[in-house]
Amino acid sequence: MNKINTIRHPAFTDDIPVVAESDVVVVGGGSAGISAAVSAARNGSSVTVLERYHHLGGMASGGMVLVLDDMVNGQEIVVSGIVDEFVQRMKKEGMAVVPPEEDRFASEEMWRKWSRWGVHDFHQAQRPQPIVYAVAFDPDAWKRTSLNLVRENDINLRLHSWFSEAIVEDGLIKGVICQTKTGREAILGNIVIDTSGDLDVACSAGADYDQGQYIVTTVFRLSNVDTDEALRFEYEEPEAFAKINREARRIIGGAWEMWWLKTPIPGVVWCNCPHMPGYDGISVGDLTSAEYEGRDRMMGLFEFVRKNLPGFEKSNMLGGAEQVGVRTTRMLKGEYVVTKEDVVNRRYFSDSVCRGRDYYTPYRALLPKKVEQLIVAGRHYSAEPDAQKRSREIPPCMAQGEAAGIAASLALQEDILIRDVDASKIQKQMRAQGADPGDIPSANATGLDDQVVNA
């Protein structure tokens, strides 16, 4: 790539300084983005990561989604790789809690011991639900781990850089433009990985996409909670607990059954609520309104439980998440669109490069149709809205990022388009990195369907 100092973009009238050039540009420093960047760097590519916030980690840190789940098919661990590094590093700090293998089964004893950590299989209808391999963790530990991995792998990190426009020439992406405090900046690359979560890059580049909407959440944490007393009350006075719990959930206006969970810090609990429907996750007006509503609701719940729920009498509001939890916005309409039936029926694909709980993600679902040298990873991958709702958890998105980073490096090494990378080579390298690409189907997988391409 020729070194240049400035570029012109048709969307702007001024010259834009080029501040970085690398083999791979990753837009979005969330969990999928960090996995993509680390994976690409370890496979020999120079990498630049752009992130709009002051921190890395996305929903796992700034969004405070503090349980890693969707990593098992029954008791079979199916999501591994870079996510394992995060877990092991946080465990060394005492900032990640994982149920030991001998506790991973269904019983009333294990339910009482582990359910308030959020490490149970909530997809199961049976009660008590089985305890599985899942991880409760601390958000700041996730930030530190992300930064350390970026630094150790010599990745060029640019925080406080808000994506603005894709640089595309004749259907080939050449880089991106971002907005910063000092003005617009250009970052050039041979391959761009869109891990923005909202498909920002692919949309700007002209790729086809669908759009969905689901609940948004402003989660929060409370400190100085006596969790032992709260659990005693729940199990020893179930009728009184049920009455208070119903009122708490009415006040918050939307929550899962386990609306509070333990965290690795004693006395600090995570409240995965309120869940608020009707907001568009890419609308400035809606996101602003969600901040008002979410914080009003969380304070209403806090005041109620402090007065009424044993164990919470001396609790304090530790604070809400730095970013609202958005689950669904734009989704790619790529070379293959994963359907609800694919996920529900556990359809296996020969070009699967990663997997989740009991579903497989074909390589084609990461590739846009109209733009070359662009790949996506994360909750905006190519899937129907009803499929995405079942396949958008953090660990599977990290596996997508890991696969995308490998694919980018293979394309560069072989001097081919990223869409032409042999999926079997991605699978092989995923295995070498300790990840499960889904190339070996589980016993409950259904028919191979690798020839279908739906518009």
Summarize pLDDT for 76-101 with one digit per residue, the tens.
Answer: 999 999 999 999 999 999 999 999 99
Where along the chain do its domains lie?
6-60+144-212+330-432, 215-326
In the predicted structure, residue 187 carries a pLDDT above the cut 90: yes
In this predicted model, which residue has the larger pLDDT, 447 or 266? 266
Which pLDDT value is given to residue 454? 37
Interstrand relation of 135-137 and 325-326 (parallel, antiparallel or unpaired): unpaired
Confidence of residue 448 (pLDDT cuts 50, 70, 90): low
Average pLDDT over residues 123-141: 95
Q: In the structure encoding, which two tokens stand for residue 280, read together? A: 């568009």
Q: Which residue has the tokens 């580049």?
A: 205
Q: pLDDT > 70: what percent of the chain? A: 97
pLDDT of residue 10 exceeding 90 = no
Overall size of the chain counted in residues: 455
> What pLDDT is recorded for position 446?
80
- For 384-443, write each residue's pLDDT tens digit: 999 999 999 999 999 999 999 999 999 999 999 999 999 999 999 999 999 999 999 888
Torsion angle, alpha carbons of 29, 30, 35, 37, to 10? -10
Find, among 50, 35, 42, 131, the residue nearest to 354 by Cα: 35
pLDDT 10s digits, 220-231: 999 999 999 999
pLDDT tier, 123 (very low <50, low <70, confident <90, very high otherwise) = confident
Q: What is the pLDDT of residue 444?
A: 80
Residue 455, pLDDT > 50, answer: no
- Whether the pLDDT of residue 451 is over 70: the answer is no
Can you tell me the distance from the alpha carbon of 327 to that of 341, in angstroms, rounded to the nearest whole number?
20
Identify the pLDDT of residue 369.
96
Give every CB contact of residue 56 below 8 A, 6+ residues apart in sequence. Answer: 29, 30, 33, 34, 49, 143, 146, 147, 150, 157, 159
Take residue 326 and report the two structure tokens written for it: 């958005």
Query: Residue 298 has which token pair?
Result: 């969380």
Task: Specify the CATH class of 6-60+144-212+330-432 in words.
Answer: alpha beta
Mean local confidence (pLDDT), 193-200: 98
Q: How far is CA 172 from CA 243, 265, 393, 415, 423, in A?
A: 60, 48, 30, 14, 21
Per-residue pLDDT of 231-248, as tens digits, reads 999 999 999 999 999 999
**Beta strand 156-158 pairing with 47-50:** parallel
95 closest CA partner among 69, 68, 63: 68
Rounded-to-integer distance, Cα 283 and Cα 280, Å: 5
> Angle of helix 227-236 relative to helix 238-252, nearest 10 degrees?
120
Tell me what pLDDT residue 1 has.
43
**pLDDT above 90: residue 106:** yes
